[in-house]
Structure formats: structure tokens, C-alpha cells
């Protein structure tokens, strides 16, 4: 059977490099193409040599059109603007996409939803299996303890991360708010300062830390008087995100147009 061929956008980024390494080590997925900004001095370099894994025989390309015959699914961990531009191009070329980019605003998310009516897309703020299991655990915790508890979401990432709170933290808030019948836009509190008064029990608080080289840590705190539950996920390597993205690529290839998430990829959607 012919191998699935993926293209990696943002090839020289932290996730781009990890994805190249993970694809090169994968038994049944081929690296078909790797993309970089057209102004990058890395255009033309070999993707395997970029990550120190020997020659991959894939030169970094500046445009998607020049590699259109070389891949089936584009894996994109870049920036909101870049993701939308690639999605437009993939739609025109009849390609599927796996998108891990976070920080899309409401308008950008709507644009992605519209594009997905004409192409298959997996879009998830966190591709790690453990984080997607955590989303299910949060539903249980919110259901059992959410109404009487103070709920706080804490996340820590490396100093280079641009968006805050992380996409995963926002999704954690959405899962908890939906379970409790609340609207996150109305109950979220992003940081506190000064004499704010006592905590409003209906709020969901967010705290963000940016420090050093932390790959990604998320905690949801359900705190009552006398006891508290903390549900924590710690990523220690970006390969967990890359492997999730490769799993999503394989799952996506047979799917019709639509916007899917990792819960569906992992078969959690009805549980
Ligand atoms: N869903 C998940 O599981 C995960 C999601 N992420 C998300 O993935 C995204 C990328 O993270 P990370 O790899 O750490 O970031 P990096 O900044 O290391 O990499 C981003 C890459 O995308 C490129 N890029 C950005 N904007 C453009 C553009 N307009 N045109 C072309 N290329 C562009 C960058 O190029 P240049 O350097 O030239 O700007 C860079 O190569 C973030 O949104 C992050 O939150 C990260 C990890 C896991
Ligand atoms: O930027 C990162 O690094 C990460 N971003 C994602 C997010 O915003 O949730 C996922 C992961 O935690 C790493």
C-alpha cells in the first residue's frame, strides 16, 4: 500500500523540526514536503539535515504550489495568519490539513470553519493523547464538584510562546464551562490585581506563567472548603504533539470535508 505523504509547514520552527524528526522515524508516513517563509535563508536546505538526521531528500520549499504533487496532508503548527493562508491554498489544491496552531481569534476560527465545509481539517489546540484524556476527566470533575468549587486553570510554557492563555487552557475552560452550562466568555477571569474583593463563585480563573524551556504544563484546580482536586498534565517532549498530529493525518485521509478535533481522532467523541 502507498504510504501517506505529509508536508510540514513552518519547518524550521520548534514543532516543525520535531515533526520532521517524527515523520522520518515513522514506518508508514513519508515526508513529502517541508515549507518555509519565502524570505528564509533555509529555503532549498534538506529537511533531514536541518534536524541533524541525515538527508531526507526533501528540500525546504517557499510555496505550496511547487510541492503540490508531493503530499496528501499538510501539517501546520505556525501562526494564525499563516494557517489561514495555507488553508485557503490547500482547499484550492484539494488537500487535507492537520492544524495545531493556537491563538486564532473568533473571526479567524469562523474562517476556518467555513473552509472546512469544503475540505477535511483536524484542528486541535493540543495533540497529546494525555491532554485529550484530561478533557474527559475535567467533564467528570466539573459534573461532580463544579457547582460548589472554585475553578482555576493554570498553565506554564516556555519563554518563546506568543499567545496566552494557551489554546489548551482555553479549551479546558470551554469544556468545564459547557459541562456547567456556563458561557466561558462571561465567566472567565484572566489574571487578578489590586483590591478585587472576594472571589465570585461562578467564575473560572486563568493564570499564565512563561518561563525558560517548559514544554507545556496545565492544571485545573477544583477547590472547595476542606478539599481540592488538581488535574494536571505535563508534556516533557514535543514529540507527544508531533505523534498526535501524525496519528490525526492517518485518521483524516479517508474523511469527507469537515472540521474534526483530536477527541474524534481518538474515538472519544461519544463517550
Ligand atoms: N496543538 C498542539 O498540540 C500544539 C500547538 N502548538 C502551537 O503551534 C504553533 C507553533 O508553535 P512553535 O513551533 O513553538 O512556534 P515557532 O515559532 O517555533 O514555529 C512557528 C513556525 O511557523 C513559521 N511561521 C509563522 N508565521 C508564518 C507566516 N506568516 N508565514 C510562514 N511561516 C510562518 C515560523 O517562521 P519564522 O520563524 O520565520 O517566523 C516558524 O518556522 C503555536 O501556535 C503553538 O501554540 C505548539 C505545540 C503543540
Ligand atoms: O506553544 C506551545 O509550545 C504549545 N502550545 C499549545 C497550546 O497553546 O495549548 C499546546 C502545548 O501546550 C504547547
- pLDDT, one tens digit per residue, over 7-65 is 999 999 999 999 999 999 999 999 999 999 999 999 999 999 999 999 999 999 999 99
Residue 3: pLDDT band (50, 70, 90) is: confident
Asked if residue 90 has its Cβ within 6 Å of ligand 1, the reply is no
The closest ligand to the CA of 80 turns out to be: 1
pLDDT of residue 2: 55
pLDDT of residue 269: 76
Asked if residue 130 has its Cβ within 6 Å of ligand 1, the reply is no
The closest ligand to the CA of 234 turns out to be: 2
pLDDT of residue 206: 98
Q: Atom of ligand 2 at shortest distance to CA of 163?
A: 8
The domain covering 129-235 belongs, at the CATH homologous superfamily level, to: Dihydrodipicolinate Reductase; domain 2 (3.30.360.10)
Which pTM does this prediction carry? 0.98
Q: Atom of ligand 1 at shortest distance to CA of 103?
A: 43
Contact by Cβ (8 Å): 126, 168: yes
Q: Flag whether pLDDT at 69 surpasses 60.
A: yes
Query: DSSP letters of 18-44?
Result: HHHHHHHH-SSEEEEEEE--TT-TTTT
Active-site residue set: 157, 161
Ligand 2 neighbours by CB, cut-off 6 Å: 102, 125-126, 157, 161, 166-168, 216
pLDDT digits (tens, 9 = 90+) for 120-131: 999 999 999 999
User: What is the C-alpha separation between 158 and 21, in angstroms, rounded?
Assistant: 21
Q: Flag whether pLDDT at 86 surpasses 70.
A: yes
What mean pLDDT value characterizes the chain?
A: 97
Whether 4-123+238-266 shares its CATH topology with 129-235 is answered no
The closest ligand to the CA of 10 turns out to be: 1
Q: Is the ipTM of this complex over 0.90?
A: yes
121 three-state secondary structure: strand
Q: Atom of ligand 1 at shortest distance to CA of 124?
A: 1
Q: What percent of the chain has pLDDT over 70?
A: 99
Give residue limits of the domains in the chain. 4-123+238-266, 129-235
pLDDT digits (tens, 9 = 90+) for 94-116: 999 999 999 999 999 999 999 99
Asked if residue 132 has its Cβ within 6 Å of ligand 1, the reply is no
Q: Assign domain 4-123+238-266 to a CATH class.
A: alpha beta
Asked if residue 78 has its Cβ within 6 Å of ligand 1, the reply is yes
Q: Flag whether pLDDT at 270 surpasses 80.
A: no
Average pLDDT for residues 184-194, to the nearest whole number? 96
Amino acid at each position: 500500500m502507498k504510504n501517506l505523504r505529509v508536508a510540514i509547514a513552518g519547518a524550521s520552527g520548534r514543532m516543525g523540526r520535531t515533526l520532521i524528526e517524527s515523520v522520518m522515524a515513522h514506518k508508514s508516513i513519508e515526508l513529502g514536503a517541508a515549507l518555509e517563509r519565502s524570505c528564509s535563508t533555509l529555503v532549498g536546505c534538506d529537511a533531514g539535515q536541518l534536524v541533524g538526521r541525515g538527508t531526507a531528500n526533501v528540500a525546504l520549499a517557499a510555496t505550496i504550489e511547487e510541492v503540490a504533487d508531493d503530499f496528501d496532508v499538510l501539517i501546520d503548527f505556525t501562526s494564525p495568519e499563516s494557517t489561514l493562508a495555507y488553508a485557503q491554498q490547500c482547499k484550492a489544491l484539494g488537500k487535507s490539513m492537520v492544524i495545531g496552531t493556537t491563538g486564532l481569534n473568533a473571526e479567524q476560527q469562523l474562517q476556518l470553519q467555513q473552509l472546512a465545509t469544503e475540505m477535511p481539517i483536524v484542528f486541535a489546540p493540543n495533540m497529546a493523547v494525555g491532554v485529550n484524556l484530561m478533557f474527559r476527566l475535567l467533564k467528570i470533575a466539573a459534573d461532580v464538584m463544579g457547582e460548589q468549587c472554585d475553578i482555576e486553570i493554570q498553565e506554564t510554557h516556555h519563554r518563546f510562546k506568543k499567545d496566552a492563555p494557551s489554546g489548551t487552557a482555553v479549551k479546558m475552560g470551554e469544556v468545564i464551562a459547557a459541562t456547567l452550562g456556563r458561557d466561558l466568555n462571561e465567566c472567565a477571569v484572566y489574571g487578578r490585581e489590586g483590591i478585587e474583593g472576594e472571589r465570585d463563585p461562578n467564575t473560572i480563573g486563568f493564570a499564565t506563567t512563561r518561563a525558560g524551556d517548559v514544554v507545556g504544563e496545565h492544571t485545573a484546580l477544583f477547590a472547595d472548603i476542606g478539599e481540592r482536586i488538581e488535574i494536571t498534565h505535563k508534556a516533557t517532549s514535543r514529540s507527544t504533539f508531533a505523534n498526535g498530529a501524525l496519528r490525526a493525518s492517518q485518521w483524516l485521509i479517508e474523511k469527507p470535508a469537515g472540521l474534526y478535533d483530536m477527541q474524534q481522532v481518538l474515538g472519544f467523541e461519544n463517550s
